[in-house]
Amino acid sequence: MNKEIFSIKTRQAFDDVCMGIFRHQAIHCAVYRKYLSLIQVDPETIQRPEAIPCLPIDFFKNHRIITGAEPPQQVFTSSGTTGTAQSKHYVVDAAVYEYSFRTAFNQFYGNPADMAILALLPSYSEREGSSLIYMVDDLIRQSQYPQSGYFLYNHDELYDSLRELKATATPTLLIGVTYALLDFVENHVIDFPALQVMETGGMKGRRREMIREEVHERLCQGFHVAEIHSEYGMTELLSQAYSTGGGRFRCPPWMQIHIRDTNDPFDRLPINRTGAINVVDLANIHSCTFIATQDLGRKHSDGSFEVLGRFDQSDIRGCNLLVQ
């Protein structure tokens, strides 16, 4: 099945694999099976992917969501906020996650061996169980450049590394949590137009919330780049979508985004309508592939999507939750 997931090239291939996974998880994922029963959905009546119900993402906070009986190799946890429960993603086969993020990264950015990869991710580096750190660790290991690594709060060292990489015309990617990137450019300005800056994670309660345009404008000025890249991922997923500018995200072939009505969770909205984001992540073959997030968004006719904010009263959490 893993080979089928990551070799998808057509809509029909996606739909076929999607339906196969649904049939499997409706039986072998106890939590999803129970959820389908509670909402009175008979899996046998589901004949097309559009009709598959999505599991509310909050279930990852209070339930052990595993398809099958294999024990997990890895448990990823969300950062959460004070007084809120953490989401936990029990990963039965870590190799699936590795193949997913490596393949997607190569699709959007090329071979990580051919670039310096710098990480400014203090909120993630300082705790255990971050799926983002697991991914960035792997990408940094693949890079052939000695400057690659984490910088935490040592912004002067990061600034010196960026200047060195600019001077040697080294292809460079800087991945940073949004508030830390803003902190950096408040005290350091570098003219590095070829630099790729990828923001992820939001403010984490460290700074006031800002609209995406304001954040990107400040970062563009601070690094003298034309666009700011973004990553859309979360603890509950084993795949990521990427934006290479303008806040428009695109998915790898084994991941799809759909928009649901905020008042009717089983009603899917058409293109260009704002609603809540549902994610179908086929890489979640050993947990639950069909997830109803608490993010608000809009899908466009070219297949790209935007993240527009969060449901009221939802936990503030990472991965591009800038309200606009």
Instruction: Render pLDDT for 55-109 as a digit per residue (tens, 0 to 9).
Output: 999 999 999 999 999 999 999 999 865 557 899 999 999 999 999 999 999 999 9
d(CA 111, CA 144): 10
How does residue 203 score in pLDDT terms, banded at 50, 70 and 90? low
Domains identified in the chain, total number:
2
The per-residue pLDDT for 320 is 42
- Is 114 a residue whose pLDDT tops 80? yes
Shared-domain flag, residues 167 and 227: yes
C-beta of residue 287 within 8 angstroms of C-beta of residue 66:
yes
Distance in angstroms (rounded) separating the CA atoms of residues 287 and 282:
10
Residue-number span of the structural domain to which 202 is assigned: 97-232
Where among 183, 204, 232 does a domain terminate? 232
Residue type, 261: D
pLDDT, tens only, 65-74 = 999 999 999 9
CA atoms within 13 A of residue 185's CA, in its CB half-sphere: 22
Task: Look at residues 204, 232, 260 and tell me which one is the last residue of a structural domain.
Answer: 232
Q: Across the strands, what pairs with 197?
A: 174
Pairing state of beta strands 74-77 and 229-232? unpaired
- Find the mean pLDDT for residues 176-181: 93
Report whether pLDDT(316) > 60: no
Q: What is the pTM of this model?
A: 0.92
Report the pLDDT value the prediction gives residue 202, as an integer from 0 to 100: 66
Q: Output the pLDDT for position 321.
A: 39
Pair (15, 69) in one structural domain: yes
pLDDT band of 126, cuts 50, 70, 90? confident
Mean pLDDT calculated for residue range 307-311: 86
- Residue 319, pLDDT above cutoff 70: no
Whole-angstrom distance, CA of residue 105 vs CA of residue 112: 8
How many CB atoms lie under 10 A from the CB of residue 234?
A: 24
- Are residues 115 and 224 located together in one domain of the fold? yes
Query: How many Å separate Cα 74 from the centre of its chain?
Result: 18
Q: What CATH number corresponds to the domain at position 173?
A: 3.40.50
Q: Is residue 188 assigned to a domain?
A: yes
What's the chain's Rg over C-alpha atoms?
Answer: 20
Say if residue 142 is in the same domain as residue 101: yes
Same domain, 101 and 215: yes
Residues 102 and 200 in one domain: yes
> What are the φ/ψ torsions at residue 131 (nearest 5 degrees)?
-70, -30
